[in-house]
Chain A
Amino acid sequence: MKNSDAINVVLKRHGNDGTRLMQILRETQEALGWLSPATLTAIAAGVKWPRSRVESTAGFYSFFHTEPLGRYRVLWSDNITDRMLGNMDLMQAMCEKLWLEPGRVSADGLVSVDTTSCTGMCDQGPAILVNYRAITHMTMERIEQMVELIHNQTPIEKWPVEWFVIEDNIRRADILLTNAMPPGEALRISFARGAADEVETSFSERSWHESMQASDIGASATLDEIKKSALRGRGGAGFTTGLKWEACHNAPGRTRYVVCNADEGEPGTFKDRVLLTRQPDLILEGMTVAAYIIGASKGFVYLRGEYRYLLEPLNAVLAKRRQLGLLGENILGREGFNFDIEVHLGAGAYVCGEESALIESLEGKRGVPRNRPPYPVTNGFLNQPTVVNNVETFASAALIAAKGGDWYRSFGSARSTGTKILSVSGDCERPGIYEYPFGVTVRQVLEECGAHNTQAVQVSGPSGICLNRDEFDRRIAFGDVPTAGAFMIFGQQRDIFEVVRNFVHFFAHESCGFCTPCRVGTTLLKNLVDKIADGNGTRTDIDEIFHLNRLLQTTAHCGLGHTACNPLLYTLEKFRPAYERRLKLLKFVPAFDLDAALSQARQMTGRDDAGAHLETHSEIAQ
């Protein structure tokens, strides 16, 4: 097939709709290998957007390439947990066998190898993506076989199937992960809540519109249950779900949307992946209940690009639900209740987990957080009222819709009701998924996952909090240690500074670049931390970290920038020796290494004697 034909097929599939640009770019790239300048021109013409805007979107996401990167694109997940499992040595070995440098394409244009932000396989690392398909448990043996397969240009479809097996590793299941409700149950019960009152309203003298609303007593009664349950968002911010849905219901708008945030980009988090694998119906049902309550007609699951392999299974579940009358028109025979859901894939951008950036991405644009207010509940997708919730929030809401708010409140604590799924990884015997009622202590989790000699636990990912040994009796709860789900364990043997360094690099890589403090500040922090790592750090550099933190916390545009210094702050407070060990006694050492700058001159003149060197950093220190 000619390139232009391939592009046209994709364009046609998406009705030449520019708001579907993310899907158009991805599918075109899957067909053609990369997005050439001519391809972007053709897509722009197809969706009738200025070419500059199409290039703008394509250039934002890590998983879109506007340069050829080989028929085989190997990306090593670079979370600290992958590092602890030895991913850097393995990647180096792979590069040597392939005769290339990380980040470069092989001379024959066949293959490239690079790193990528955490791919959400921390309990089964070291993990990689090959052409955006996930492979876990990398070993030297697998690398040897893989290099063979690549050299022989064996299509990925013919690679050993067991490489692509993703484990669920459910170690402790509670109400969410043990759910066995038949699909449709929560919806039926929600509808039934209004049945008794419906008769009454149909006799009233209200206008048609009002009676339509009034006949949805079931919807308002179910909203009451959600409110009663005191369910709070599981994506990090912990906003009360019932209030969000109510605000969206009350906002004026033409259409309403329900969006499930399955971007799960926070390093160390993988619970949404397992929920999407094991309880897709519960999640989709939660979204449909939300649609019923707020009056939405369309829903999206925004699935992170790293979970590309889940697209087909999710689409199969959606098809099944349509067959069962749980999606589509007149859901379960309910006249006028029309709602359908579509899965949209992201393309490698952590910031798209921020709800307004996610909506921008859904509209085919760069994933840049919007100015707020207005919030998505009033001005969301295509400027219409939109509810955005985490995967786990929707799953919990479906349970509440079926079993009631009081039942849900019987789990967890008074202020943090229900259960929370933790993604446990790092130094422990049984990494994986643990669902606990809220209020569980850090210590209990450590005991149950088989962690010994634990030095620190990073809860809720790099933007979360780092706990030391004295804090293990604290509880997972909104009032104490809140979490979006990550629980990374670091044993006594780990160098906390290397953990922090990994996180700081992550933020610099993922900053969207919209606002000055985060765009420049995260890179300055990265440079400072690297300077300390190189043994050239001083007191002044530590002061500068605090100074930058004050700036980012107060002036950054979104949560990414606000929290980008957290890993440094917590560990400077609790693990100071990890830094002090590396610092010079001096007040100040420039990061610009004059002597290193002369290395080229030395190479050219073939000299390396003392006279060809400046005073070195270490000499100055003495």
Chain B
Amino acid sequence: MSETNTFILDDQEIPFTPGQSVMQAALTAGVFIPHLCYHPEFRPHGSCKLCTVKINGRPATSCTTPAAHGMEVESNTPEILDKRRTLLQMLLVEGNHFCPSCEKSGFCKLQALGYELGVMTPRFNLMYPTRPVDASHPDVLLDFNRCILCELCIRASTEVDGKFVFALSGRGIKKHLVVNAESGRLADTNFSLTDKAAQVCPVGVILPKRKGFAVPYGERHFDDAPISTHVDEFKPVMPGQGGRS
């Protein structure tokens, strides 16, 4: 590895292997960049925009931008942090997020990033969308109220499970998740709790049944320390930008 492969991220020199994204290189080096639709095992998606940084003065998503030598990347600046906070607030008002009654609370990346970035209010008016839950499946509950449309479950079901259980329908603010059945019910798909798609939701949509509150509040995953200190969990498992394909 030649030592010429480095870029600057907020005054810190970050090494990278060619083909890595800015995000992958940063996480590998132990520097956390907030993200929701990025997942170490999947190709970058570039939709949540939470990982937005400035590269040589121009905004870009760090999960989709290949690292290049000599780049100057800004991430932890007041301007960018403000944008990330607003994006989180947008996601919070777009769905119905009532964390105190959410099974995922404490394990939820949206919530953890809210704490990390100091989101104290929803800022905008809540949109209160009507999103019915799907409790048809014997083992899994789908609570669409919390869906942030990161498409991780879609990618997992398509690329790993080979089942195509989830997909998006609708457009714009009416975009929503659908399942692969004429009835529209999860019970009528071949979904299983052991699917990869059952493990990847960053928020509290895809929940196993009969397993409520097994870990008490206060002892949950992100309760101990901010999500940024969990950086090791997000390190890329695949070399290069690739992810699964």
Say whether B172 contacts A52, CB under 8 Å. Answer: no
B32 contacts chain A at the CB level, 8 A cutoff: no
Q: Which of B64, B83, B93, B166 lies in contact with A371, CB distance below 8 A? A: B64
If A52-B178, A55-B178, A592-B125 touch, does A555 touch B87 (CB 8 Å cutoff)? yes
- List A18-75 residues whose CB lies under 8 Å from chain B: 37-38, 40-41, 50-53, 55-56, 58-62
A586 contacts chain B at the CB level, 8 A cutoff: no
User: In the bound complex, how far is the Cα of B170 from the Cα of A61, in angstroms?
Assistant: 8
Say whether A53 contacts B164, CB under 8 Å. Answer: yes
Q: Which of B47, B125, B167, B169 lies in contact with A557, CB distance below 8 A? A: B47
User: In the bound complex, how far is the Cα of B83 from the Cα of A551, in angstroms?
Assistant: 6
A512 contacts chain B at the CB level, 8 A cutoff: yes
A519 contacts chain B at the CB level, 8 A cutoff: yes
B219 contacts chain A at the CB level, 8 A cutoff: no
B48 contacts chain A at the CB level, 8 A cutoff: yes
Say whether B49 contacts A524, CB under 8 Å. Answer: no
Give A505-519 as 1s and 0s: 1 = Cβ < 8 Å from B's Cβ atoms. 000111111111101
Say whether A52 contacts B90, CB under 8 Å. Answer: no
Say whether A511 contacts B171, CB under 8 Å. Answer: yes
Say whether B86 contacts A547, CB under 8 Å. Answer: yes
If A51-B181, A511-B173 touch, does A517 touch B87 (CB 8 Å cutoff)? yes
User: In the bound complex, how far is the Cα of B176 from the Cα of A44, in angstroms?
Assistant: 20
Say whether A516 contacts B175, CB under 8 Å. Answer: no
If A51-B181, A55-B178 touch, does A519 touch B172 (CB 8 Å cutoff)? yes
Residues of chain B lying within 8 A (CB to CB) of residue A55: 167, 169, 178
B124 contacts chain A at the CB level, 8 A cutoff: yes
Say whether B48 contacts A516, CB under 8 Å. Answer: yes
- Could you list some 20 contacts between A and B, CB below 8 A? A37-B183, A52-B179, A55-B167, A56-B168, A59-B170, A60-B170, A60-B171, A349-B171, A509-B172, A511-B171, A516-B90, A517-B49, A517-B90, A519-B172, A520-B93, A527-B125, A551-B86, A554-B59, A554-B83, A591-B125
Say whether A516 contacts B91, CB under 8 Å. Answer: yes
Complex A-B, nearest 8 residue pairs according to Cβ-Cβ distance, in ascending order: A59-B169, A50-B164, A52-B167, A513-B175, A52-B180, A520-B90, A554-B59, A511-B172
Residues of chain A lying within 8 A (CB to CB) of residue B178: 52, 55-56, 59
A405 contacts chain B at the CB level, 8 A cutoff: no
Nearest chain B CB to A279 CB, angstrom units: 33
Say whether B182 contacts A37, CB under 8 Å. Answer: yes
If A40-B182, A547-B86 touch, does A513 touch B171 (CB 8 Å cutoff)? yes
Q: Which of B50, B166, B172, B178 has the most CB of A within 10 A?
A: B172
- List B149-187 residues whose CB lies under 8 Å from chain A: 149, 164-175, 178-184
Say whether A520 contacts B91, CB under 8 Å. Answer: yes
User: In the bound complex, how far is the Cα of B98 from the Cα of A185, in angstroms?
Assistant: 68
User: In the bound complex, how far is the Cα of B183 from the Cα of A536, in angstroms?
Assistant: 43
Q: Which of B46, B86, B127, B169 lies in contact with A56, CB distance below 8 A? A: B169
Nearest chain A CB to B148 CB, angstrom units: 8
Nearest chain A CB to B83 CB, angstrom units: 6
Residues of chain A lying within 8 A (CB to CB) of residue B64: 371
Residues of chain B lying within 8 A (CB to CB) of residue A269: none
Residues of chain B lying within 8 A (CB to CB) of residue A40: 182
Residues of chain B lying within 8 A (CB to CB) of residue A366: 168, 171
Nearest chain A CB to B240 CB, angstrom units: 16
Say whether A555 contacts B52, CB under 8 Å. Answer: yes
- List B74-121 residues whose CB lies under 8 Å from chain A: 83, 86-87, 90-91, 93-94
A522 contacts chain B at the CB level, 8 A cutoff: yes
Say whether A520 contacts B180, CB under 8 Å. Answer: no
* Cβ-closest chain A residue relative to B184: A37
Residues of chain A lying within 8 A (CB to CB) of residue B175: 513, 519
Say whether B49 contacts A508, CB under 8 Å. Answer: no
- List A465-524 residues whose CB lies under 8 Å from chain B: 508-517, 519-524
Give the number of residues in A that approach B within 8 Å (Cβ atoms). 46
Residues of chain B lying within 8 A (CB to CB) of residue A53: 164, 167
- If over half of A's interface residues share one DSSP class (helix, strand or loop), that class is named, otherwise mixed; here it is helix
Q: What residues make up the interface of A, taking CB atoms closer than 8 Å to B?
A: 37-38, 40-41, 50-53, 55-56, 58-62, 349, 366, 371, 508-517, 519-524, 527, 547-548, 550-551, 554-557, 590-592
User: In the bound complex, how far is the Cα of B51 from the Cα of A557, in angstroms?
Assistant: 13
Say whether B172 contacts A522, CB under 8 Å. Answer: yes
Q: Which of B52, B91, B166, B171 lies in contact with A52, CB distance below 8 A? A: B166
Nearest chain B CB to A69 CB, angstrom units: 16
User: In the bound complex, how far is the Cα of B167 from the Cα of A508, in angstroms?
Assistant: 22
Interface residues on B, range: 35 or more
Residues of chain A lying within 8 A (CB to CB) of residue B170: 59-60, 513
| Given A50-B180, A56-B168, 5 additional A-B pairs, CB 8 A | A52-B178, A508-B173, A519-B94, A550-B83, A555-B83
* Cβ-closest chain A residue relative to B89: A520
User: In the bound complex, how far is the Cα of B168 from the Cα of A55, in angstroms?
Assistant: 8
* Cβ-closest chain B residue relative to A38: B182
Residues of chain B lying within 8 A (CB to CB) of residue A59: 168-171, 178
User: In the bound complex, how far is the Cα of B169 from the Cα of A56, in angstroms?
Assistant: 4
Say whether A514 contacts B47, CB under 8 Å. Answer: yes
If A56-B167, A515-B49, A527-B125 touch, does A51 touch B173 (CB 8 Å cutoff)? no
Residues of chain A lying within 8 A (CB to CB) of residue B173: 508, 511, 513, 519-520, 522-523
Nearest chain A CB to B161 CB, angstrom units: 12
Nearest chain A CB to B24 CB, angstrom units: 15
User: In the bound complex, how far is the Cα of B48 from the Cα of A41, in angstroms?
Assistant: 31
Residues of chain B lying within 8 A (CB to CB) of residue A349: 171
Say whether A555 contacts B180, CB under 8 Å. Answer: no
Residues of chain A lying within 8 A (CB to CB) of residue B172: 508-513, 519, 522-523
Residues of chain A lying within 8 A (CB to CB) of residue B164: 50, 52-53
- List B211-242 residues whose CB lies under 8 Å from chain A: none
User: In the bound complex, how far is the Cα of B174 from the Cα of A62, in angstroms?
Assistant: 12
User: In the bound complex, how far is the Cα of B176 from the Cα of A55, in angstroms?
Assistant: 12
Q: Which of A510, A513, A555 lies in contact with B149, CB distance below 8 A? A: A513
Nearest chain A CB to B176 CB, angstrom units: 8
Q: Which of A510, A514, A548 has the most CB of B within 10 A?
A: A514
* Cβ-closest chain B residue relative to A513: B175
User: In the bound complex, how far is the Cα of B167 from the Cα of A38, in angstroms?
Assistant: 18
* Cβ-closest chain A residue relative to B36: A516
Nearest chain B CB to A364 CB, angstrom units: 13
Q: Which of B93, B182, B184 has the most CB of A within 10 A?
A: B182
Say whether A371 contacts B46, CB under 8 Å. Answer: yes
User: In the bound complex, how far is the Cα of B179 from the Cα of A571, in angstroms?
Assistant: 43
* Cβ-closest chain B residue relative to A507: B172
If A59-B171, A513-B174, A516-B90 touch, does A523 touch B182 (CB 8 Å cutoff)? no
Residues of chain B lying within 8 A (CB to CB) of residue A511: 171-173
Nearest chain A CB to B25 CB, angstrom units: 18
* Cβ-closest chain B residue relative to A41: B182
Nearest chain B CB to A39 CB, angstrom units: 10
Say whether B83 contacts A523, CB under 8 Å. Answer: no
Residues of chain B lying within 8 A (CB to CB) of residue A550: 83
Residues of chain A lying within 8 A (CB to CB) of residue B86: 547-548, 551
* Cβ-closest chain B residue relative to A40: B182
Nearest chain A CB to B114 CB, angstrom units: 14
* Cβ-closest chain A residue relative to B151: A514
* Cβ-closest chain B residue relative to A373: B66
